[in-house]
Amino acid sequence: MNAFARRGACPALSTPMQTGDGLLARLHTVAGGLPPKALIGLCESALRHGNGIIDVTARGSIQIRGLTPSSARELAREVAVLEIDVRTGVPVETGPLAGIDAQEIADPRPLANEIRAAIEKAGLGARLGPKVSVVVDGGGRLPMDAVLADVRLAACGNPATWHLAIGGTAASARPLGFVEEAQACAATIAILEAIAALGREARARDLDAQRIVAEIPLSGLPAISPTRGENGLGETLSPISVVADAELTPKLLLFPLVGEMAGRPERGNLQAGPTSTPVSMFPLADGTLALGLALPFGSMPAESIIALAQGAIALGAAEIRPALARSLLFPGMSADACGTLRQAAASLGFVTDAADPRLSIVACPGAPACASGKIATRSLAERMAAHHADLLDGSFTLHVSGCAKGCAHPAPTTLTLVGHDLDDHDGGAGIALDATARAPAAEAHVVADAQAGIAHIASLVQDMRHADETVAACLARLGATTVTTAFMQE
Ligand code: SF4
């Protein structure tokens, strides 16, 4: 099969993926970020070879759209010249503030590097499917809780021990126990080997967690200890201690899931605990700050990113980190510099306020950028954010999808709008609640004017919402039938 056409593969620079607006190349910096001048060079390459639109994904990857097979090769060549250290092989991800966060429990980078080297040495890259990934989360202000991974290592305790879990987010992964740093790499490789043994289609969810703990030859690991519950929280953890399924996540040591997957994102607050949104300022271990900004719906014209990066250079920024939740982080800044850059970013159209309703909406490129798009998702999303800030209170995610494929958010969301062809209209949209874009409900409940439909829902919520009730709770209380009826109202 043509590498350019292979589905299910991550569209890395060398194997861009076909989309409705040409080929898409995705790159993820190895750790940390890239010099502002390199980001400017990358944006200039995107203007030369693509359609000039840059995405930052929910996992903090950069995407360049609108490529052709030959321009994609040119782009890859120019990225190499820019000396951008692009991740290849099995993703081993650390948090966007790894190694610099003042509240980090442990610097995850040495362990992540050890795991990358061990994966390479074992030749696992060729034996694992393209979506198998590892998260090494040092904790701190921007935890990786909402990021799906096959193997999860999360720092906890003092001195740091690593909580080991497989197949999911922090909330949904199956916990295996705790492992000391010296054995964490071996345990991870053992799990990846077990996945590889099941074939390239396998994921960690296919593994038997009990068999993993009991049977996998965890080379170099001491014997499994009694359960964490039996040990007691105050005791020193053994190198790996089993956590029975029923015990689930040790609540005292792992952060709760926050963000859109939990339907209850926290708003930015410098002094608060872990936050879901990078749109904030974060105190760093060296006494400086990192400013976080988001790209509206994950996309911006390359010219706007160039202008922002030039502003950051003028303010002394040495690095820009693409980060979770479609954001960019600017570490090493003073408070004054953060304020100046934030103002410049706002005037360029970036999201600079954690309460910005655009953060509550996920929208794919849609029409006209994507050939499959039935509706102009981004402009519809902009209008909804502009007119319905009260509805978009941050307690739920509204997914605006150009078609039933649902590229922007494969998981269910509280409200999902899906573009549809209508006989006498250019593009209607259907609605589904607590569902994905593929839900039959989105086919059955279609209106010609989606914006009017959402306005009816906003009006319903305004009338029916209890004091101190979030919109998400109100929608759940009203139920799908009532909300759908409001959407369909003439
Ligand atoms: S979901 Fe959006 S981006 Fe994906 S194919 Fe449909 S219209 Fe295109």
pLDDT at residue 358 in the model: 97
Which tokens is 379 given?
A: 């402009």
Confidence at 3, pLDDT banded by 50, 70, 90: very low
For 343-372, the pLDDT digits (tens) are: 999 999 999 999 999 999 999 999 988 888
Confidence at 240, pLDDT banded by 50, 70, 90: very low
- Residue with the smallest CA separation from ligand 1 atom 6 is 403
Which tokens is 120 given?
A: 């390479």
Q: Measuring CA to CA, which residue among 413, 428, 405 is closest to residue 361?
A: 413
- Residues 121, 89 contacting (CB under 8 angstroms): no
> How far does the centroid of ligand 1 lie from the alpha carbon of residue 226, in Å?
49
Confidence at 83, pLDDT banded by 50, 70, 90: confident
Compute φ and ψ for 202, nearest 5 degrees: -75, 150
Class of the domain covering 358-488: alpha beta
CATH code that applies to domain 97-252: 3.30.413
Q: Which atom of ligand 1 is nearest to the CA of 403?
A: 6
Q: What is the mean pLDDT of the chain?
A: 84
Residue 259 neighbours by CB distance under 10 Å: 22
Residue 158 neighbours by CB distance under 10 Å: 8
What is the C-alpha to C-alpha distance for residues 52 and 307, in angstroms, rounded to an integer? 14
For 148-172, the pLDDT digits (tens) are: 999 999 999 888 899 999 999 999 9
Same topology, domains 97-252 and 358-488? Answer is yes
Q: Measuring CA to CA, which residue among 406, 397, 398 is closest to residue 370?
A: 406
- Residue with the smallest CA separation from ligand 1 atom 4 is 407
Task: Evaluate the omega torsion of the peptide bond into residue 368 and state whether it is cis, within 30 degrees of 0.
Answer: yes
Q: Do β-strands 149-156 and 174-179 pair in parallel, antiparallel, or remain unpaired?
A: unpaired
Which protein residues touch ligand 1 with a CB less than 6 Å away? 20, 364-366, 370, 372-373, 401-403, 405-407
Determine the Cα angle at 162 with ends 161 and 163, to 5°.
Answer: 125
Which tokens is 458 given?
A: 């906003």
The CATH superfamily of 17-89+282-352 is Sulfite Reductase Hemoprotein;Domain 2 (3.90.480.10)
Q: Is the pLDDT of residue 461 over 60?
A: yes
- What's the residue count for the chain? 490
For 443-454, the pLDDT digits (tens) are: 889 999 999 999
> How far does the centroid of ligand 1 lie from the alpha carbon of residue 373, in Å?
6
For residues 78-100, average pLDDT? 89
pTM for the whole structure? 0.82
Residue ranges of domains in the chain? 17-89+282-352, 97-252, 358-488
Determine the Cα angle at 246 with ends 243 and 252, to 5°.
Answer: 60
Q: Which of 21, 24, 57, 372 to mutate to test the pocket of ligand 1 (most atoms within 8 A of CB)?
A: 372
